[in-house]
Structure 1
Amino acid sequence: MDHSAPGVYLTSQQCVRVPLATLQNELNSYLATLKTKLVEVINEDYSDYVGLSGRLANVEGAVVRMRRPLIELRDKLHAVQEAVRSELNSLNQGLRRRKEVATQRALLELTLEVSHVAAKVEKLLEEVAASDSVAVAAAAGGEAAADGAPAPPSPRSPLTSASAAAASAASASASAAALSDAELLAHCRLLERVAAEVSRLAFLANKGKDLAFVRALEPRIAGHRAALRGRLKAALAAALAPAPAPQPAGAAPGGGPRSVAAALHALHAAADLCEPGEAEGVVRSVVVAPMVERLIAEHKSATGHSASLGGLSALLSAITAGVRSSMGSLLEAALAPGSALRGLDLLGAAVLEEVQGALAAAMPGVFSPGVPPAFHANYRATLAWLAGLEELCATRGSVERLRSCPAHASLMRRWNTSVYFSLLYQEIAGELEDALSADRLEAPPPLAPGGAADPLTAAAAPQLAPTATLLRCLRRATSPEVVLPPLTDRFLRLALQLAQRYAAWLATAATARREAVAAAAAGGGGAGALGVVPGAAAAAGAAGSPAPTGAAAWATSMSAEELLVVVADAESVHSVLLGPFTTAFLELLPQSTPTAAPPSDCAAPDAAGDAAPNVIATVRSALAEAAEAVRGGGRSLAAALTDEAIERCVTVVRQLKGITATYRMTSKGPPSRASHYVGGVLTPLRSLLEAGSARRLASQFQRELLVLPVADGVCSRYGALAEELLSSVRKTESSLKRLKKAKGGAGGEEDSAASAISDSDKITLQLHLDVEELGRQLAALLVAGPAASADVGEVVAAALPTFRRLQEVVAPPPGLLAALAAGGGGTSAASTGGAASGGGGLL
């Protein structure tokens, strides 16, 4: 008990099923024992614990002896701490003073450097001003000597203020024009050096913008920049001016700039000065603007009043050639990878901006969508021209910069593609709407002599003018001569709308046909009016419903054989939409970007590569849906025609009611061949299949659209009529037997012998022979080659479940055929083809 665990004890007691009261008493007893032993253990050492303080001697003295060295150690540590803190404070003060001295020294050095650079800039500008004065004096020396006037004195410090800078800049153009090529090159090099120093001075001034000295220099720095800006513009204009007629050695041929090297130095100076707009403006005004103005004037003089309606491609090609000739070296230097001139946008801000502005001012008609062909040609020419400009770019960044520049966006905004599409939409959709609104169907007009057939029309070979119009409109909606890259999605929607409109036209015709037939049947025309629809229209009017009018009136005035032309055209349009049209439209997708792709060596990652499969799949799905809508409309009309054919076939099938009278009113023996009416049951279907329009349908479509629906409907209706007839005959025969049985009497044996084969059996056998003959006719339509007579029923039943049901309905009673064969009933002819279409035991 003492060493056992409580859990083990409780488990053991539960296993022997100890009562809870007994268990509680034992546990309480154990608890009391534990408490007693605990008290005994405490009392064993209690005396030692109580006498502990009495046995300790001189505790206070020991504490004092232990505290003294600790206090001494603490005092030493405090002294060291104070010494370290004082040394740290002195070091921090020294570092702070050193930092202040360094800061003051840096400010002093910055001030000295700003002053030195400012003086250097002023000295360089004085050199530039002196050279300008010498050039001006040399140019005006002859005139001054002739007039007796002294030469103007050289300015002492021309750029000490903004007004002096403006005055010196005014004379810069004349001095730059008077310099020789070598002097101009040296002058531009000096300006590039000055620009570098001015840029350095601006950097230093921005670094020390809080200094009073620097703030005092700001007017002088602004004057230096203004003076340098004017001289740079003058020098760049002089360097870019066309070379004189007798070109010196080293000049660019073909009307190029006077000095390419000097122009490059001036452009570098403008880039260093961080003012690219001034240089771009000079290039635009000196090089691009005169060239564009001259080319536009030559183009207008060559094309006359039609200059704004077309011919933009030739003008833009001439502009591109002129840009390459007059600015080739500049563009090559500015667009080279890592060029220091990458801050200049000569293509966008100079060339593109000037061209689009000049075209809008001198030839506004090129942007007018009033003449869609000319608008399309001009837009395509513009895209090709932009692609040519992008070919001049050597890096991906240059291409992106050209595409994102304001001039590019302004040029593309001038093309009102929405109005262009609206005009074409009205033209294309209006043409199809006019063709579909006609109240009669006509053949498409013949192709003009020497004219090229439309690819879609040639692929479909339509037999109706509306279908030919649809294909022609679809071709225009995918023609590269009509579609513009930004409008690809709109032309896709247009094509889908054209297809849906054609499908709705077919559905409306099918509905009108069904309504006319229903009205004819309600007016007493019956199934006989189904093939000649003028009678149906008249019957509809006689029945009180209005005769069909409008766009679908032709559907009620044509025979079923003629309407098959519409079904055949619908199938052709379906094939064209899924085939040639889809292929032609997908060819437009890779060119759906507004400009050409960058060169291969700087091509951007193919961002459209991942999206292209999705786009292609979406386009294919949309066109497939439109094609299915067209096929659905055509098959809806085909279903209406097959319903008519079924009614005409069932009209013949209803003659089976005469079989009852034949065998009840006569003592005719069992039948041996099919009834004569069976040969005419499928005559309406054969008429449809032999029509020229049906022959245009593939055999698969003939079977799917005509043969199977008509055969299924005829077999279903035939089975219902046969089942009704046999049910009536058997009920009548059953009633007669009950009456005879009720009469009883003599003569029963004679009656039984005479009626070994009842009239119902004869009628059932006749229907069985008729169905077998119908199966042979259906097999001839369903099977391409000759089929064995033993397999005819199985072949037809496999294709038509309703025919199998018909066979089950007219199946003779078990043993009847065997009994007739044994009794010489002559049924062998029924199984060996005795069902001649003209024979029979009726009428």
Structure 2
Amino acid sequence: MVSYLPTTFGKKESWKDISYHIISMSSGRDLFSLPAGPADLCFDKNEFMKKTFSVDEFLHENRNAGSLENIRDDLGLYLKVLRSAMIELINQDYADFVDLSANLIGLDQEIGGIGSPLVKLKQEMLTVKEALEGTMKDISDCLEQKKALRGYKKSLQSLAKVRTALVKLESLLESVEKGHELNPTLLERAALESIQLQFNVKFCSEFLDQEQLQSAERWKNDLLTQLKTYFLNMLERKDLDGLERCLRIYCTLDECRMAEDVFKTEIVSPYMSRVVSESSLQNSPQGLTGIYNQILDFISLNMKGLLNLTKKNGKVKGYNFVVNSFWTEVERRMETNMSSIFAPGNPESFYNKYKCTLEFLERIELIIDDPVEINYFKAHPQYRSFQVRWNLPVYFQIRFQEIGSNLERVCSLEIDPVKFSSQQISASQFNLLPFSIALTCISSCWQDGIYLPQLFQRFLKLTLQLLSRVTTWVDSAVTFPPMASADSKPESSLKLKLLATLFSDISNLSKKIPQIVNLILSQSPPVLDLTVSQLDELFFDNRSALTTKLNRLQTLVVQELVQASVPHIKQVSDIPRLYRKTNREVPSKCCQYMEQLIQPSRNFRDQYNSLVGDERLKEFLTDVYGSLTTSYHNTVEEVLTSVQKTEESLRRLKSLRDRNSASTAAASSSSTTAMTDDDKIRLQLQVDVICFVQEIERIGLARGEIEKLDDLMRLVEEATKIRIGSSSQPAPHT
């Protein structure tokens, strides 16, 4: 059986081809797996079953399994296994191959015999299909003809109705013209005939000649003319029943807009041409308010009956004489004949005219008294055009220049040292002009005569800008004064006064922000539905900026006080010279420099406590005395170290001079009974520290709140061996 193998399976056939043939021949079996090979192969045989098998990937994955020679040898071994498996598979299925070839003999002839009847059947089916399609086309043509005949029949019927309606309409209109007074009943009948005529004309227009079409249009226009005359007569007589019938006739003709146009052209326009003009505006005692009153008087004089008939609960629907007849004509006349009212050059006059106009529009809305109609009124193109004509951005820009320039002019002025030094300051009000002007400007933004609800967002932004501007001005103000005048206070004193005044004014301004928020909230448009918390968020940046300025001013005050006091600490180094070889008495009071050291802070506390406040003043003095204590501690430590070194040097020198024991004993005895100069120096330092501590406690500060104060006290206590009490000075050391 092996001799029947295909010739392709030669020696040069690869293991991959043999695997493919084995898989192909065994595709009919439910389960199949590659034959097992030697267990020591350097690759996995299942990789050959992958659909994405690639030789390059195979070599790349197995490059570390062994050398190329080992891979080649293992592939050769597995190739032999595959060949053996393929031969065995062919031998197993050889009988099936022979039976299959025997069963296929003569199959072509049988297939050919079956094909001929099928072709014939196909041709017969195509013939039947063509016959059915022809029949369907004939039926469709007949239906189209029937539909066209129905259309022609309907058009002929409409044509007959048109001719009949023309005759009736002509007869009715001639009867109306012959009467001394317009008969509303004949007009109603004529309107019905006109509607029938227009309806039937649409279905037979292709059969009507030009003369018939012109005749239909002429009679319709004649009917509208008669109806217009009747409408004006009823308006003149103020006959509500006649107006109702006339309006219903217009509704029947679907010419409601025609009635509104007639009223606007014949009634509204002549009246408004007399009332709405520049000359009327100049001659009116009440100005624009008088013009608006005359315009609204027209409604009460000439439109009361129409409004009662056409309002929401009226008898006739589909009309809006207030908007389509009254308002459109009024707005057009105001734009063309009274354009001067829109000029924003004079902001006071513009404000009054605009407020008067808003009241005028609100009164019109009250007359309409229907939410749907009011929305239609506000959405009308001429209403929007009228609102745009009021140039609110230009008005705001003028107000912005007026309000902003007041604050900017004050912020650009320099502070006069002489005037400022003699100025009386108060903690309950603003002491510097920019803060007072800023608050006045902010109040001006929201007062009557300036603020308009339509510009709420812009005035709110201007308020934030005013706060920001006065906050920024503080940066330039803290540089004052560049130099003090001859007859004014010293520069340091003036600067402390300015810093304290700035601190007080900024604190007062921060306290005013809630009042400003409440003022803005009271003036905000109801449609925005703002809350206090929402407005507070808008002022968050301003509050943060003011807090930052307060902290900076506190730092500057501390720096000024420290700079005024620190130079006096250097006098601590002069204490040794006061007691060496001078035979001074034992110190019992502090040195003069201590009074000079604490005087700047004491003066600031006495003068500006009401401006700064107790809590802030405590913070100020804590920082000041913290910085002074650090410097004082370092200086005292240096002096004590120097004293100790000098004392030791003198002791060593004296020991060298006095060699005999008697002299030494006498010297020792005298040193123990009398206070030395160095002891006096240490005691003086302790007395000064006690005075310093007492000053700190006098202003309400605890010892633990001052950095290095405890270290300073321990330093002098260890030097004198005398413990410092809370309020008593130490006794002289003997």
Shorter-chain TM-score range: 0.7 to 0.9
On the 8 A contact 1:191/1:232 being kept in 2, the answer is no
Distance 2:337 2:393 in 1: 23
The partner residue of 2:234 within 218, 239, 246 is 239
Matched letter for residue 610 of structure 2: R
The partner residue of 2:450 within 482, 503, 506 is 482
Tell me if 1:774 matches 2:692: yes
Q: For 1:519-565, what per-residue CA distance to the aligned partner results, in whole angstroms no more than 9, with x for missing partners?
A: x9xxxxxxxx9xx85554xxxxxxxxxxxxxxxxxxx9957447644
Distance 2:710 2:480 in 1: 36
On the 8 A contact 1:509/1:637 being kept in 2, the answer is no
The partner residue of 1:500 within 468, 485, 488 is 468
Distance 1:337 1:96 in 2: 56
Tell me if 1:264 matches 2:247: yes
On the 8 A contact 1:331/1:346 being kept in 2, the answer is yes
Tell me if 1:98 matches 2:143: yes
Tell me if 1:327 matches 2:303: yes
Label 1:62 to 1:634 Cα distance change in 2 as closer, same or farther (>3 A): closer
Q: Secondary structure at the match of 2:390?
A: coil
On the 8 A contact 2:703/2:709 being kept in 1, the answer is no
Paired residue for 2:225? 230
Label 1:486 to 1:195 Cα distance change in 2 as closer, same or farther (>3 A): farther
Paired residue for 1:647? 563
Q: How big is the shift at 1:131? A: 0.7
Paired residue for 1:280? 260
Distance 2:164 2:693 in 1: 116
On the 8 A contact 2:190/2:223 being kept in 1, the answer is yes
Q: How big is the shift at 1:588? A: 2.8
Q: Which runs of 5 or more structure 2 residues have no equivalent in the other structure?
A: 1-30, 44-64, 422-426
Q: For 1:67-108, what per-residue CA distance to the aligned partner results, in whole angstroms no more than 9, with x for missing partners?
A: 4xx866875675466345424422331222212320342244
Label 1:468 to 1:189 Cα distance change in 2 as closer, same or farther (>3 A): farther
Tell me if 1:833 matches 2:727: yes
On the 8 A contact 2:263/2:325 being kept in 1, the answer is yes
Label 1:677 to 1:198 Cα distance change in 2 as closer, same or farther (>3 A): farther
Distance 1:134 1:400 in 2: 44
On the 8 A contact 1:208/1:214 being kept in 2, the answer is no
Paired residue for 2:441? 473
Distance 1:4 1:110 in 2: 83
Paired residue for 2:286? 307
Paired residue for 2:610? 695
Distance 2:285 2:458 in 1: 30
**1:675-694 equivalences in 2 (<5 Å):** 675=591, 677-679=593-595, 681-691=597-607, 694=609
On the 8 A contact 1:503/1:632 being kept in 2, the answer is no
Distance 1:777 1:365 in 2: 74
Q: For 1:224-248, what per-residue CA distance to the aligned partner results, in whole angstroms no more than 9, with x for missing partners?
A: 44434433433332332353xxxxx
Q: For 1:597-650, what per-residue CA distance to the aligned partner results, in whole angstroms no more than 9, with x for missing partners?
A: xxxxxxxxxxx67xx67xx87754443434554565566566545543333333
Q: How big is the shift at 1:579? A: 0.9
Asked which structure has the greater RCO (Cα within 8 Å, sep 6+), the reply is: 1
The partner residue of 2:390 within 400, 415, 435 is 415
Paired residue for 1:590? 525
Q: How big is the shift at 1:304? A: 5.3
Q: How big is the shift at 1:127? A: 1.0
Distance 1:736 1:589 in 2: 80
Tell me if 1:349 matches 2:252: no
Q: For 1:751-782, what per-residue CA distance to the aligned partner results, in whole angstroms no more than 9, with x for missing partners?
A: 78849999778756655654454344334435
Matched letter for residue 438 of structure 2: L
Paired residue for 2:703? 793
Q: How big is the shift at 1:475? A: 1.0
Q: Secondary structure at the match of 2:656?
A: coil
Paired residue for 1:34? 85
Tell me if 1:811 matches 2:714: yes
On the 8 A contact 2:562/2:627 being kept in 1, the answer is no
Distance 1:490 1:500 in 2: 15
Distance 2:230 2:713 in 1: 111
Label 1:231 to 1:41 Cα distance change in 2 as closer, same or farther (>3 A): same
Distance 1:59 1:363 in 2: 106
Q: For 1:667-698, what per-residue CA distance to the aligned partner results, in whole angstroms no more than 9, with x for missing partners?
A: 6798677556445544333333333x641554
**1:356-367 equivalences in 2 (<5 Å):** 356-359=331-334, 366-367=341-342
Matched letter for residue 715 of structure 1: G
Distance 2:222 2:36 in 1: 107
On the 8 A contact 1:646/1:710 being kept in 2, the answer is no
Matched letter for residue 379 of structure 2: S
Matched letter for residue 400 of structure 2: Y
Paired residue for 1:379? 354
Paired residue for 2:375? 400
On the 8 A contact 1:671/1:762 being kept in 2, the answer is yes
Label 1:217 to 1:24 Cα distance change in 2 as closer, same or farther (>3 A): same
Paired residue for 2:188? 189
Tell me if 1:579 matches 2:514: yes
Tell me if 1:567 matches 2:567: no
On the 8 A contact 1:761/1:813 being kept in 2, the answer is no
Distance 1:62 1:364 in 2: 104
- Would you say how many aligned residue pairs link Structure 1 and Structure 2? 663
Q: How big is the shift at 1:487? A: 2.0
Distance 2:632 2:668 in 1: 30
Matched letter for residue 715 of structure 2: P
Label 1:401 to 1:769 Cα distance change in 2 as closer, same or farther (>3 A): farther
On the 8 A contact 1:510/1:636 being kept in 2, the answer is no
Distance 2:439 2:73 in 1: 106
On the 8 A contact 2:503/2:553 being kept in 1, the answer is yes
Distance 1:44 1:321 in 2: 118
Distance 1:126 1:582 in 2: 77
Matched letter for residue 262 of structure 1: R
Distance 1:119 1:840 in 2: 142
On the 8 A contact 1:334/1:341 being kept in 2, the answer is yes
Matched letter for residue 307 of structure 1: Q
On the 8 A contact 1:730/1:760 being kept in 2, the answer is no
Q: Secondary structure at the match of 2:479?
A: helix
Normalized against structure 2, the TM-score is what? Answer: 0.73
On the 8 A contact 1:353/1:407 being kept in 2, the answer is yes
Label 1:108 to 1:7 Cα distance change in 2 as closer, same or farther (>3 A): same
Q: For 1:462-517, what per-residue CA distance to the aligned partner results, in whole angstroms no more than 9, with x for missing partners?
A: 4455543332221110124421123223322332333333334433221223x437
Q: How big is the shift at 1:404? A: 2.4
Q: Which runs of 5 or more structure 1 residues have no equivalent in the other structure?
A: 136-177, 244-250, 253-257, 444-458, 521-528, 537-555, 594-607, 784-791, 798-802, 821-826
Label 1:105 to 1:664 Cα distance change in 2 as closer, same or farther (>3 A): farther
**1:154-193 equivalences in 2 (<5 Å):** 178-179=181-182, 183=183, 185-186=184-185, 189-190=188-189, 192-193=191-192
The partner residue of 2:127 within 78, 82, 93 is 82
Matched letter for residue 516 of structure 1: M
Q: Secondary structure at the match of 2:483?
A: helix
Matched letter for residue 189 of structure 1: E
Matched letter for residue 409 of structure 1: R
On the 8 A contact 1:767/1:810 being kept in 2, the answer is no
Label 1:83 to 1:635 Cα distance change in 2 as closer, same or farther (>3 A): closer
